[in-house]
Amino acid sequence: MLGFAMRRLVQAMIVMLVVALLAFTLFRFVGDPVNQMVGVETSLEQREALRESLGLNDPVPVQFWRFISNAAQFDFGTSYQFRQPVSDLFAKRIPATLELSFVSALFALIVGIPMGVYAGLNRESAVSKLFLSVSLVGISLPTFLIGILLIFVFSVNLQWLPSFGRGETVQIGGWWTTGFLTVSGLKALILPSITLGLYQMTLIMRLIRAEMLEVIRTDYIKFARARGLPDRLVHFRHALKNTLIPVITITGLQLGAIIAFATITETVFQWPGMGLMFLQAVQNVDIPIMSAYLLLTAFLFVSINFIVDILYFLIDPRLRVERA
């Protein structure tokens, strides 16, 4: 197990290095960074001096090394638009995105798993068919449309929930702001997290349903029934647990996707998270933010994958023994 974890860590580091190389290339070679930083009236000498002071005349490997070691200390340079360190900007935005992603992932799991289990066990019932039709809507409607529809119904017509922003937030510690502690903050979370989590929910539901249908046909389920075990044990202890491996894989990847690609939802709801900032950065060719975002996204995916691999070990005893 330890050896496996070490191997995965080394692989994760290689992935991160490759992504860092991409981010570095983006920063260094997509447009001249000096041109982006200075105004039109800056003289050639001043430009040259800036170039020298930024280290842009050093050999490329040296620059890359500097880029990596700075990134390892959370120094991603200065944003072109805001003239502030990129890491400060991210620190301000991260809590909003993480809270939104967390709530929508929770929503997807809490609603998706029971629906999937039910639809897998009662495949012919009318309710299962209704679930499947609803899930088709969740998969086929684009996120922005769902967001706008929800705003139209719940904010404009019924006026129950706010249509944008995070509501009131509370400062915790040095840099974390949370919307969990105020009523308006919680209310503000509802619509965006449903919008963001709907696709994942339908995906999880359909996956669990398919896996359940598969597992329910296996001999050990038949044997469990033949031993007279109550349905509750057969369905949840034996069947559901055996469906979890593929579900964890997909859920892990989807969680990464929720955090990294909340852009559209954040835009629709004017949610002050990283996605919104990223979109603005793209519009303004703010390359330091873009490359930091790239690194952060890769880091999220790599660490989620790592956790998923470890979870496999906890769930499936067959993986725990060394293959002998």
- Site residues for another protein per CB under 8 A: 218-220, 222-230, 233, 237-238, 241-242, 315-318, 321-324
Question: Minimum distance between the CB of residue 226 and another protein, rounded to whole angstroms?
Answer: 4
Nearer CB in complex with another protein: 75/214: 214
Using alpha carbons only, give the angle 140, 144, 148 rounded to the nearest 5 degrees. 110
CA-to-CA distance for 217 and 204, rounded, in angstroms? 20
Instruction: Identify which of 291, 300, 321 has the alpha carbon closest to the alpha carbon of residue 76.
Output: 291
Using alpha carbons, list the distances in angstroms from residue 152 to 91, 104, 125. Answer: 32, 20, 33
Q: Please tell me the distance from the alpha carbon of residue 144 to that of residue 183, in angstroms, as a whole number.
A: 25
Q: Let me know if 276 is exposed, middle or buried by CB neighbors in 10 A (0-12, 13-18, 19+).
A: buried
Cα 57 from chain centroid (whole Å): 37
**Residue 45 or residue 322: which is nearer to another protein going by CB?**
322
| Cβ distance to another protein smaller for residue 99 or 211 | 211
Nearer to another protein, 41 or 219 (CB): 219
- Terminal CA-to-CA distance of the chain, rounded, Å? 14
> Closest separation between CB of residue 222 and another protein, Å?
7
3-state secondary structure of 172: strand
Cβ 94 to another protein shortest distance, Å: 36
Instruction: Rank residues 110 and 314 by Cβ distance to another protein and give the closer one.
Output: 314
